[in-house]
Structure 1
Amino acid sequence: MSLALGGGKMAENLKDCRVCGKSSWSQLQDLCRLAKTSCPALGISRKNLCIFEVDYLCNYKKVREQEYYLVKWRGYPDSENTWEPRRNLRCAGILKQFHRDLEQELFRRSGRRPRVRPPRHLDAALVDFLVQKGRQRKALQRWERELNAKRAHKGRISVENEVDLHGPPQDFTYINEYKMGEGITLSQMATGCECKDCLDDQANGCCPGALLKKFAYNVQGQVRLQAGQPIYECNARCRCSSDCPNRVVQRGISYNLCIFRTANGRGWGVRTLEKIRNHSFVMEYVGEIITSEEAERRGQIYDRQGITYLFDLDYVEDVYTVDAAYYGNVSHFVNHSCSPNLQVYNVFVDNLDERLPRIAFFATRTIWAGEELTFDYNMQVDPIDVESTRMDSNFGLAGLTGSPKKRVRIECKCGTESCRKYLF
């Protein structure tokens, strides 16, 4: 947001001047209410000056059939919490969530179906849980806003944890493309296509044809190549527009996705909030590009921490690795499955360095709204047909198509019928 400079003649001279403000709109409104000052520019008038926003609910009690809630007010410290009768609260969603959390915790304690009505008074342990849950929800809401502010793609990101009290992950930065490690650079594409229509009226076979490769997509943008064959998209030097049918991965995530806490001990996961058609692009695996030597060093540290975010870029040779432990996108949270619904493809856009492909996930089948997204951390690709080029053959013979670096024997919790019991 911006704040206007004002004051006498200076205001007249600087009427179009703006300076950056570090407070959000809602924070400035809270400051007005704290100071009991009206501000038409912020929408604070005498009528709504005393209308305060509920942050979360901390406690509940029933006195003479009257329900009361202990309210944490937004913008005020805990010392300003007050007990309010239900009739004073106009926050139907927060009330509903509070009682849902209360019922779930009572059920967890007793193992019996929750009561139709809550107890008249809550014990200290239950109150402590509800306060932690309220704080957690606010933290997750802030994180969700931060993720969506940083994303450079169409698809929105939501965050949900109905399982435990874990909040946002620490030391994780959302990025939209590779972060180059020290001493690593991308080589830019030398030429681009001059097609009138990159799908139906290709000049010299468009970008893939110029490199003796097949065109990757159909008219719906679905990949039609066998897994293991590279995808060459149009680049910044091409004359085609941004809606070219050969620009799919570079347009980013188009589906609304949810980062959620899994209920079976697999940590965070990702589910789609809308239907994804078979062979459609879903997301890229992005992170920090490091050398394989550096990956070996970090891998020993990650082993002790029990995390797996190292992804080998072994399309032609194992030189570089993607480390998504601290820098990544939604793919950072995608779990393994021995029967996955995502397939890895190597993609080249503006960079032609065969050692640094972009890693794209495409749907292996129709994925329905609410379904978790998964890929095989130890993915195998069948050898490519004999007519394929040397580069394609090496990719197939390499066996692992960019799977996370194999370290220790980790138990698999995917729960599928074809589960191999261990990740590696």
Structure 2
Amino acid sequence: MPNTKGRGAKKRAAGSGKRPARKSVRRSSSDAKADGDNKEEFDVEAIVGDMEYRGVHYFEVKWRNFDESENSWHPKADLGCPGLLHQYMQTRVKNTADLTRFYDLLQSAEGFTISVVNTVDSVECPENFTYINESVYSEDVPRPCTPMFWCECTNGCSSDCECAERGNYDEKGLLKDEGCARIIECGTHCKCDESCANRVVQRGSNARFEIRRFAHKGWGVVAKQQLVKGAFVAEYVGEVISYDEAERRGLENRGLTYLFDLDKEFTGDFSDFSIDAKSHGNISHFFNHSCDPNMSAYAVYVEHRDPRLHRLALFASRDIAAGEELTFDYSPPVAEATGLKADPCHCGSDKCRKFMYY
């Protein structure tokens, strides 16, 4: 795939659940009936995924009366539902690559288990990539840390709080205004605690992901649960680098760059800084492009209000079904007029522009 992760506007292409209590695996109703069990309620509804790691075969369990966000993983030895296991094994497509190294790479990932599937080729793992949970700053990039203000709210932020006055989130933590220029969250000096409704991106994502290999696009990510419009999906993290360094890397890795310019609120000719997720990144490193994406990027401020160094957060721009690929637009239409190099686009959407520009 053409990995030109969303460059900024101006010179570059525009950039413009709680976990359930630990459950023991019980038999499905079909398995129980085979044993003459008269119980009417059973925990396991289905087995929906598997992975092999260090000689242990793990299976993803869908719990009865819980949605996909509550799925959990268990070794085969702990499963007590042979009927469902047999049914799953009859239909599963086995991986064509050994993914042990990939799972080693994901051991530092925050949040829920990330599963990996490759049924199309022999590629095992990205080379020279380190999984990180927050961006790292190059030595020549400043790290502002003094907030312009902070709130005194002690029981969540009220509507007249300076931090929450824009009202970016509703009571469920969903983004309310798709047209908002910025998202300002409560910072480290604010008096409210982590449960404040105005602390969404900084709490991290609760979304469940599967990294999947695609025939014409390479690695991509599918949602393992339904995500509603406005839900925070992931932060785009990587190395925060200067404009000059971004230019150098862009030329060096032409057509294979993960640079995302921090220009969401920048009005000059060029943005001062970029995020490069090529060698250091999180789940967002694997998100593919689509000309009809289901995610949009927003500038988010937590530690400071410097518009040159905002954080980048990806939110669901519409309802996303479980099993649907997660995508954002790397190369919006404005790029077509810049005379940049074009590569064929393989997003497959009905609105495909046929080419990607970088």
- Tell me, yes or no, if structure 1 residue 207 matches structure 2 residue 163: yes
Give the alignment partner of residue 311 of structure 1, picking from 253, 260, 267. 260
TM-score if structure 2 supplies the norm length?
0.69
For structure 2, the 5+ residue unaligned runs are 1-52, 57-84
**Within 5 Å, which residues of 2 pair with 1:114-193?**
133=96, 136-137=97-98, 140-147=99-106, 149-152=107-110, 154-190=111-147, 191-193=149-151
SS in 2 for 1:220: coil
Deviations 1:150-203 (A, max 9, x none): 123x2331111011111111100011111101221221133421124444x35x
Q: Which letter maps to 1:162?
A: T
In structure 2, what is the equivalent of residue 349 of structure 1?
302
Paired positions, count: 269
Which of structure 1's runs of 4+ aligned residues deviate more than 3 A?
A: 53-56, 95-101, 196-199
Give the alignment partner of residue 287 of structure 1, picking from 221, 234, 238. 238
* 2:168–2:183 contact (8 Å) kept in structure 1: yes
TM-score if structure 1 supplies the norm length?
0.59
**Within 5 Å, which residues of 2 pair with 1:37-76?**
55=55
Q: Which letter maps to 2:224?
A: L
Deviations 1:271-302 (A, max 9, x none): 00000011111001111011111111111111
* 2:135–2:238 contact (8 Å) kept in structure 1: yes
**Within 5 Å, which residues of 2 pair with 1:13-412?**
55=55, 101=94, 133=96, 136-137=97-98, 140-147=99-106, 149-152=107-110, 154-190=111-147, 191-199=149-157, 201-202=158-159, 205-209=161-165, 214-263=166-215, 265-303=216-254, 306-314=255-263, 315-316=265-266, 317=268, 318-379=271-332, 408-412=341-345
Q: Which letter maps to 2:348?
A: G
Give the alignment partner of residue 419 of structure 1, picking from 349, 352, 355. 352
SS in 1 for 2:252: helix
Distance 1:100 1:207, change over 3 A: closer
* 2:240–2:274 contact (8 Å) kept in structure 1: yes
* 1:227–1:344 contact (8 Å) kept in structure 2: no
Q: CA RMSD in A?
A: 2.8
* 1:155–1:253 contact (8 Å) kept in structure 2: no
Distance 1:367 1:98, change over 3 A: closer
For structure 1, the 5+ residue unaligned runs are 1-52, 57-91, 102-129, 381-398
Per the TM alignment, residue 379 of structure 1 is displaced from its structure 2 partner at its CA by 3.8
* 1:227–1:345 contact (8 Å) kept in structure 2: no
The share of aligned pairs that are identical, in percent, is 39
SS in 2 for 1:293: helix
Distance 1:232 1:54, change over 3 A: closer
Distance 1:246 1:100, change over 3 A: closer
Report which of the two structures shows the higher radius of gyration computed on alpha carbons: 1
